[in-house]
Amino acid sequence: MSTKSITMALAGNPNAGKTTLFNNLTGARQHVGNYPGITVDHKEGHFKHDGHRVSITDLPGTYSLTAYSVEEIVTRDFLTSQKPDVVINIVDASNIERNLYLTTQFLEMGVPMIIALNMMDVAKDRGLEIRTEKLSELLGIPVVPIIARSGKGTDELITQAIGVATSSRVWEPRDISYGEDLDETLMDITATIEEVSFLSSDYPSRYAAIKYLEHDDEMLRKGQAANPELASKLEQSVTEISDHLQKTMEVYPEAIIADHRYGFIKGILRQGVLTHKFDTDRLYTSDKIDKVLTNRLLGPVIMLLILFGLYQFTFTWSELPVAWMASLFGWLGGVVETNLADGMFKSMIISGVIDGVGGVLGFVPLIMFMFFGIAVLEDSGYLARVAFMMDRVFHLFGLHGSSVMPFIVSGGIAGGCAVPGVMATRTLRSPKERMATLLTVPFMNCGAKVPVLVLLIGAFFADHKALYMFLFTMLAWFVALVAAKFLRMTVLRGEATPFVMELPPYRFPTLRGLFIHTWERTWQYIKKAGTVILGISILLWALMTFPGLPQSELDQFEERRVQLQTTLTEKPGQLQAALLVVEQEESGATLKNSIAGKVGSFFEPVSSYAGFDWRTNIAMLGGFAAKEVIISTLGTVYSMGEVDAENSGSLGDRLVNDPSWNAVVAVSALVFIMFYAPCFVTVVCIAKESSWKWAFFSMTFNTFFAFLASVAVFQIGGLF
- In degrees, to the nearest 5, what angle opens at C-alpha 565 toward C-alphas 563 and 567? 65
Closest among 654, 647, 639, 645 to 578, alpha carbons compared: 645
pLDDT digits (tens, 9 = 90+) for 566-623: 887 777 777 777 877 777 777 778 878 888 889 999 999 999 999 999 989 998 988 8
Write the CATH number of the domain with boundaries 5-165. Answer: 3.40.50.300
CB 617 within 8 Å of CB 603: yes
Please check the confidence at residue 28 and state whether its pLDDT lies above 60: no
pLDDT category of residue 358 using cuts at 50, 70 and 90: confident
Q: How many CA atoms lie within 13 A of 28 on its CB side?
A: 0
How far apart, in whole angstroms, are the C-alpha atoms of residue 629 and residue 360? 8
pLDDT digits (tens, 9 = 90+) for 369-415: 888 887 888 778 787 788 778 777 888 888 876 777 788 878 877 67
How far apart, in whole angstroms, are the C-alpha atoms of residue 367 and residue 369? 6
Tell which wins on pLDDT, 646 or 548. Answer: 548
Per the prediction, the chain carries an average pLDDT of 82
Q: How far apart are the first and last CA of the chain?
A: 85
Helix axes 154-165, 18-26, angle to 10 degrees: 90
Note the pLDDT of residue 645: 34
pLDDT (average), residues 261-274: 87
Note the pLDDT of residue 642: 42
Strand 143-145 with 113-118, pairing: parallel
Using CA atoms of 144, 147, 151, 154 in order, give the dihedral in degrees to the nearest 10: 10
Note the pLDDT of residue 10: 93
Closest among 471, 477, 305 to 390, alpha carbons compared: 477
Tell which wins on pLDDT, 676 or 44. Answer: 676
Q: Write down the domain spans for the chain.
A: 5-165, 180-251, 556-719
Q: Please enumerate, as own/partner, the contacts of 295-300 that have beta carbons within 8 Å and a separation of 24 or more.
A: 299/385, 299/389, 300/389
Note the pLDDT of residue 622: 83
Tell which wins on pLDDT, 568 or 86. Answer: 86
Please check the confidence at residue 649 and state whether its pLDDT lies above 60: no
Please check the confidence at residue 663 and state whether its pLDDT lies above 90: yes
Note the pLDDT of residue 39: 40
Percent of the chain with pLDDT over 90: 22
How far apart, in whole angstroms, are the C-alpha atoms of residue 204 and residue 552? 87
pLDDT (average), residues 303-320: 85
How far apart, in whole angstroms, are the C-alpha atoms of residue 420 and residue 678? 13
CB 265 within 8 Å of CB 273: no
pLDDT digits (tens, 9 = 90+) for 139-185: 989 999 999 888 899 999 999 999 999 887 667 888 888 877 788 88
Helix axes 511-528, 364-380, angle to 10 degrees: 140
